[in-house]
């Protein structure tokens, strides 16, 4: 596991940095030679990286906003032999250089889909400037493993001077309740996380310690 941004990737991201860095609701997280931008616990843009010399990334289809119809909030329909058809289907709003007005539309879509109590808790945690967030959705998977562990947050605790991992659960989560007088499922989940973190402690510390950004080029990015 490596957490590092190459100069090539930083240069390719430069045209988009201002639009992203000016918005303090966004959390950029360094991954394995890539960058993912989070908003309210959701990946707004996933895996910015260099592929065959090109800057690439991905956005979930549910987060892509549509252009507003001209002079109306409604899209006209017409009945045909194949059923109801749109006379003027709306196009999508492309991310472009991620202007503030475009960014607000993508954020609106994220708020409309997939937001829950856990997402709100994560948003409140990562939005506090005193919380030094290292990453979100930290995934652990050994080669050949069919399943993986995914922990919600990792931050650097200034008081304890250590990496701290956080698993977020809403009070409604059934995994917090015991079944048949046994331990709640979340206890087994946390035990599994602890075992994995203990087994790979050195690698995790090294990967996060190498997560460094040149302050002269990325002063507005709140990254470790």
Query: Does residue 87 form part of some domain?
Result: yes
Query: Does residue 222 form part of some domain?
Result: no
Question: Model-level pTM?
Answer: 0.69
Query: Does residue 177 form part of some domain?
Result: yes
- Domain limits for position 51: 7-209
Query: Does residue 219 form part of some domain?
Result: no
The tokens for 191 are 């035990």
Query: Does residue 191 form part of some domain?
Result: yes
pLDDT in tens, 197-223: 888 888 888 777 755 443 343 333 333
pLDDT in tens, 11-68: 888 887 767 777 778 888 887 788 888 888 788 999 999 999 999 999 999 999 999 8
For residue 59, the model assigns a pLDDT of 93
In angstroms and rounded to an integer, the radius of gyration of the C-alpha atoms of the chain is: 21
- DSSP structural state of residue 193: H
Give the total number of structural domains in the chain: 1
Query: Does residue 217 form part of some domain?
Result: no
Query: Does residue 128 form part of some domain?
Result: yes
Q: Greater confidence, 2 or 61?
A: 61
Lowest-confidence region among 6-20, 88-102, 186-200: 6-20
Confidence check: pLDDT of 106 > 90 = yes
Query: Does residue 169 form part of some domain?
Result: yes
Closest CA to 151 of 191, 184, 193, 90: 193
């Amino acid at each position: 596991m490596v957490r590092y941004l190459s100069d090539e990737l930083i240069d390719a991201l430069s045209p988009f940095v201002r639009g992203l860095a000016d918005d303090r609701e966004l959390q950029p997280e360094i991954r394995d030679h890539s960058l993912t931008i989070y908003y309210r616990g959701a990946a707004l843009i996933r895996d910015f990286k260099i592929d065959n010399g090109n800057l690439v990334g991905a956005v979930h289809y549910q987060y892509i906003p549509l252009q507003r119809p001209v002079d109306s909030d409604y899209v006209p329909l017409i009945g045909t032999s194949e059923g109801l058809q749109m006379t003027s289907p709306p196009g999508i709003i492309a991310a472009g250089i991620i202007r503030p007005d475009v960014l607000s539309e993508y954020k609106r879509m994220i708020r409309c889909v997939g937001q829950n109590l856990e997402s709100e808790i994560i948003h409140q945690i990562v939005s506090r400037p005193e919380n030094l967030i290292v990453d979100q959705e930290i995934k652990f998977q050994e080669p050949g493993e069919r399943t993986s562990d995914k922990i919600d947050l990792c931050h650097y605790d200034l008081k304890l001077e250590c990496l701290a991992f956080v698993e977020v659960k809403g009070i409604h989560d059934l995994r917090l309740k015991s079944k048949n007088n046994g331990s709640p499922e979340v206890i087994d989940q946390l035990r599994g996380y602890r075992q994995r973190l203990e087994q790979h402690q050195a690698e995790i510390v090294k990967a996060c310690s190498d997560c460094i950004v040149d302050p002269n080029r990325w002063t507005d990015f709140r990254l470790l």
